[in-house]
Amino acid sequence: MQRIKNVLNVHFVDRKGTFLVPIYILAAMVAIVIAIGIIARVAGANEADLYEGMKWNGAVWALLGMGFGIGAMTMTQYLSFALGLGITRREWLAGSSVMFVLVAAGTAVIVMVLKLIEQATTGFGLSVRLFDTVHTGPASWWQTLLQVFLMVMAAMTLTATISGIWNRWGKTGLMWLAAIAIALGVVAFGIGILLPADQVMGVFSWFGNLAWISWMGLLAGVMLIGAVAFWLLGSKAEVR
Amino acid sequence: MIDDSRPLFIQIADQIADGILDGTYPEDTAVPSTNELAQHLRINPATAGKGLTRLVEQGVLVKRRGIGMFVAIGARAQLAHERTASFATEYVEPMLRAASQLGLTPDQLHAIIDKELS
Amino acid sequence: MTQVIETSALSKHYKAVKAVNDLTVSFDENRIHGLLGRNGAGKTTLMQLLTGQLFATSGDIRVFGESPLENTTVMQRTCFIQEGQTYPDGFEPRHVISIAAGMHEKWDQQRADELVEMFELPMKRKIKKLSRGQLSAIGIIVGIASRADLTFFDEPYLGLDAVARKNFYDALLADYAAHPRTILISSHHIDEVAPLLETVTVIDNGELLMQHDVDELADAAFAFAGTRAAVDQFTGSVQVLERTDIGGLSTVVVRGPITQDAARLASDLRLDKSRASLQDLFVAVTESARKARQKA
């Protein structure tokens, strides 16, 4: 337990970097969206149209960028620093997993609260939308909580995995990863060309018609794969 | 202060012995502890300890449990006696070698010594 | 005496390099050990293996009687100050100190504060902006204040000026005297650290060349200098580690102890005899190992 706390301390000791930077990102997002709202008003946009159109605003995805960064750092800079201090791989993975959950949960709560405020004030009184969008899940607060949590978790575990591959096999590993991704893409594209058009559309509409809960299942699956790979790679990591 | 011609712990022992001979450490008083010596000379405490132990073995220092190392009664006379014995090999022989290199006769050598003594 | 570290037939091989090769070595408890070797001799790799940062290719490691790999009990008693330790972006010295303080049960905050002042370490400057010497100071402060039962210093004084190095030696000796523990210092600047050490272990090319108590080393090697002809005549009777010839003058480093016959011969041949410094011995031993390798 003490050691897990030590690991969390490694992640959170730089308070400025850990807490201020996400707040800056959030503040910048809000500022940009509000600016867009003001410009749209000045330009004479219809308020109701604006509110409806901004349902598709994807600015909230910027939060994932933070998740990518955290995931990557966990398996690179921070890992070799922690091992150097005498933290074992297992302690590092356990502590970092706790950190992932804390960050994802924290982000989810913040987004949920902001979404509720946004809904209650009809877009902060400016008819803009940032948090109450299709990307943060359907209307209920718990769905937003779960969706944002899973999205951020998946972002962190996946990038931690990719960084873990780099740690283990270096550039060669990343090249193999890219090669596999490209190969899969080519195969999918090939199948798409070979199949009759209505079947291809069928695949898309199958995805399009997936229920929210099934999407969450997919997201959770991705997160789990990332988490397992993160542990497997991390438990064999050497300092670099 | 530290040269390379002899093992470090012997140099430490000799330094303390010098101190006893010239009165820096009078008989029945304490000499620096192992750790004091180590820190003062920037050397490993084990090496400093070995130097002190050497003097204990020679009977020059005595250990007093819980207090430290003290100069033994009669240590000064003992050291003086030992150093007199080695005086010929350590100082006179090299001097004679140097004198013969210069081609000094025994009389000339005596004259030089008498002049320095006066 | 209890062995804190024991390795047997330890190897760490990379594709082309045998960084540590079939190394069997041990280190006693509560002494200051020197781990000497040229750059690339395998000192850092050995320390990384001993602290479980690297996985061995083959062989066995015992630290406090157990494998250090993924072993919290062992790692809690260990502190490893690495040369060229990297720190996360944005970190400042105070962050590192605070993390280290939380990790070591015997951490002495007062000592840490004293050392910060002594090295004039700016606690709130980005580590990226620190000088090489200030970077070394962070490691030294953590290594001493952690007061771990086993402390590794890998080339601890790189970039430190003469005054800071003296400060390091003073602080280390003072703390060690008050709290004896096992300390391993790696270095290629040998004569300066030599007085601090109780034992010396020389590795080269990942292999053990020699391990001795420093006091035993007093008679381990001697240097003889004189005319080339006289040295030629002398070397027939002794084991020569290294020889340098400059014009008509020669110096040989000879493995001790020197027999009375050899000493008399040297004196008859008017050779100057001196005890080889640890640095001389180190150069001689590693050079003769290199020549033996090239022949093989």
**C195 DSSP 8-state letter:** G
Instruction: Find, among C40, C35, C14, the residue nearest to C205 by Cα.
Output: C40
Judgement on whether residues C158 and C275 belong to the same structural domain of the protein? no
The alpha carbon of residue C278 is apart from the nearest alpha carbon of chain B, in Å, by 9
Instruction: Specify the pLDDT at position A137.
Output: 77
Q: What is the CATH number of the domain that holds C236?
A: 3.30.70
Asked if A138 contacts A215 with a C-beta cutoff of 8 angstroms, the reply is no
Among C216, C236, C260, identify where a domain stops. Answer: C216
Reading phi first (left if > 0) and then psi (alpha if -120 to 50, else beta), residue C30 is in left
Which helix or strand (DSSP H or E) is residue C3 part of? strand C3-13
pLDDT at A222 exceeding the cut of 70: yes
Chain C residues in contact with B10 (beta carbon < 8 A): 218
The domain tally of chain C equals 2
In tens, the pLDDT along A83-131 reads 888 899 999 999 999 999 999 999 999 999 989 988 888 887 778 888 8
Can you tell me the distance from the alpha carbon of C219 to that of C273, in angstroms, rounded to the nearest whole number? Answer: 12
Q: Is C14 on the interface with A (CB under 8 A)?
A: no
Judgement on whether residues C103 and C232 belong to the same structural domain of the protein? no
CA distances from B110 to A12, A102, A122, B100, B116 (A): 83, 93, 116, 13, 10
Q: ∠ CA(C31), CA(C37), CA(C42), 5° rounding?
A: 95
Judgement on whether residues C185 and C265 belong to the same structural domain of the protein? no
**C129 DSSP 8-state letter:** G
Burial of B117 (0-12, 13-18, 19+ CB in 10 A): exposed
* Chains B and A: 3 or more CB pairs within 8 Å of each other: no
Judgement on whether residues C161 and C72 belong to the same structural domain of the protein? yes
CB count in 10 Å sphere of residue C289: 17
Task: Report chain A's C-alpha Rg in angstroms.
Answer: 21
In tens, the pLDDT along C130-156 reads 999 999 999 999 999 999 999 999 999
Q: Is C66 helix (H, G, I), strand (E, B) or coil?
A: strand
What residue type is B50 in one-letter code? K
Judgement on whether residues C182 and C272 belong to the same structural domain of the protein? no
Instruction: Specify the pLDDT at position B2.
Output: 39
pLDDT, chain A, mean: 88
Instruction: Find, among A175, A151, A146, A154, the residue nearest to A225 by Cα.
Output: A154
pLDDT at B5 exceeding the cut of 70: no
Judgement on whether residues C108 and C250 belong to the same structural domain of the protein? no
Q: Is C87 on the interface with B (CB under 8 A)?
A: no
Task: Provide the β-strand partners of residue B62.
Answer: B70
* Least confident residue range of A151-155, B3-7, C200-204: B3-7
- The per-residue DSSP string of A185-227 comes to HHHHHHHHHHS-HHHHHHHHHHHHT--HHHHHHHHHHHHHHHH
The alpha carbon of residue C220 is apart from the nearest alpha carbon of chain A, in Å, by 36
Chain C residues in contact with A90 (beta carbon < 8 A): 70
Instruction: Find, among A89, A84, A91, the residue nearest to C152 by Cα.
Output: A84
In tens, the pLDDT along C35-77 reads 999 888 999 999 999 999 999 999 999 999 999 999 999 999 9
Judgement on whether residues C145 and C194 belong to the same structural domain of the protein? yes
Residue of C nearest to A7 (CA): C99
Can you tell me the distance from the alpha carbon of C185 to that of C273, in angstroms, rounded to the nearest whole number? Answer: 31
Residue of C177, C215, C275 lying closest to B35 (CB–CB): C177
The alpha carbon of residue C250 is apart from the nearest alpha carbon of chain A, in Å, by 46
* Chains A and C: 3 or more CB pairs within 8 Å of each other: yes
Q: Which residues of C204-218 are buried (b: 16+ CB within 10 A; e: fewer)?
A: bbbbbbbbebbbebb
Can you tell me the distance from the alpha carbon of C189 to that of C211, in angstroms, rounded to the nearest whole number? Answer: 17
Judgement on whether residues C107 and C227 belong to the same structural domain of the protein? no
As given in the structure block, the two tokens for residue B96 are 């004679």
Q: Is C86 on the interface with A (CB under 8 A)?
A: yes
Among C194, C216, C238, identify where a domain stops. Answer: C216
Residue of C71, C85, C99 lying closest to A10 (CB–CB): C99
Instruction: Specify the pLDDT at position A57.
Output: 81
Reading phi first (left if > 0) and then psi (alpha if -120 to 50, else beta), residue A122 is in left
State the sign of the Cα–Cα–Cα–Cα dihedral B56, B62, B64, B69.
negative
In tens, the pLDDT along A161-197 reads 999 999 888 899 999 999 999 999 999 889 888 888 8
Size of interface B-C (CB pairs under 8 A): 54
Q: Is A240 on the interface with C (CB under 8 A)?
A: no
Q: Residue C89 and residue A83: Cβ atoms within 8 Å?
A: no
pLDDT at B31 exceeding the cut of 80: yes
Q: Residue C215 and residue B47: Cβ atoms within 8 Å?
A: yes
Mean pLDDT of C78-100: 92
In tens, the pLDDT along C13-44 reads 998 899 999 999 999 999 999 999 988 899 99
Judgement on whether residues C24 and C121 belong to the same structural domain of the protein? yes
CB contacts under 8 A, A 88-127 vs C, are 88-91
Domain enclosing residue C248, as ranges: 218-295
Judgement on whether residues C180 and C209 belong to the same structural domain of the protein? yes
Chains touching chain A, criterion 3+ CB pairs below 8 Å:
C
Q: Residue C169 and residue B42: Cβ atoms within 8 Å?
A: yes
Q: Is A20 on the interface with C (CB under 8 A)?
A: no
Q: What is the CATH number of the domain that holds C147?
A: 3.40.50.300
Among C161, C190, C216, identify where a domain stops. Answer: C216
The alpha carbon of residue C73 is apart from the nearest alpha carbon of chain B, in Å, by 29
Find which of B14, B44, B47, B50 to mutate to test the C interface (most C CBs within 10 Å of its CB): B44
The alpha carbon of residue B114 is apart from the nearest alpha carbon of chain C, in Å, by 30
Chain A residues in contact with C151 (beta carbon < 8 A): none
CB contacts under 8 A, C 196-225 vs A, are none
* Least confident residue range of A65-74, A89-98, C174-183, C272-281: C272-281
The alpha carbon of residue C104 is apart from the nearest alpha carbon of chain B, in Å, by 25
Residue of B8, B10, B35 lying closest to C195 (CB–CB): B8
Can you tell me the distance from the alpha carbon of A71 to that of A54, in angstroms, rounded to the nearest whole number? Answer: 30
- The per-residue DSSP string of chain A comes to -HHHHHHHHHHHS-HIIIIIHHHHHHHHHHHHHHHHHHHHHHTT--HHHHHHHGGG--GGGHHHHHHHHHHHHHHTHHHHHHHHHT--HHHHHHHHHHHHHHHHHHHHHHHHHHHHHHHHTTIIIII--SSSSGGG-SSSHHHHHHHHHHHHHHHHHHHHHHHHHHHHHHHHHHHHHHHHHHHHHHHHHHHHHHS-HHHHHHHHHHHHT--HHHHHHHHHHHHHHHHHHHHHHHTT----
Judgement on whether residues C197 and C227 belong to the same structural domain of the protein? no
Task: Provide the β-strand partners of residue C252.
Answer: C224, C243
Judgement on whether residues C112 and C127 belong to the same structural domain of the protein? yes
Can you tell me the distance from the alpha carbon of B79 to that of A129, in angstroms, rounded to the nearest whole number? Answer: 96
Can you tell me the distance from the alpha carbon of C235 to that of C6, in angstroms, rounded to the nearest whole number? Answer: 38
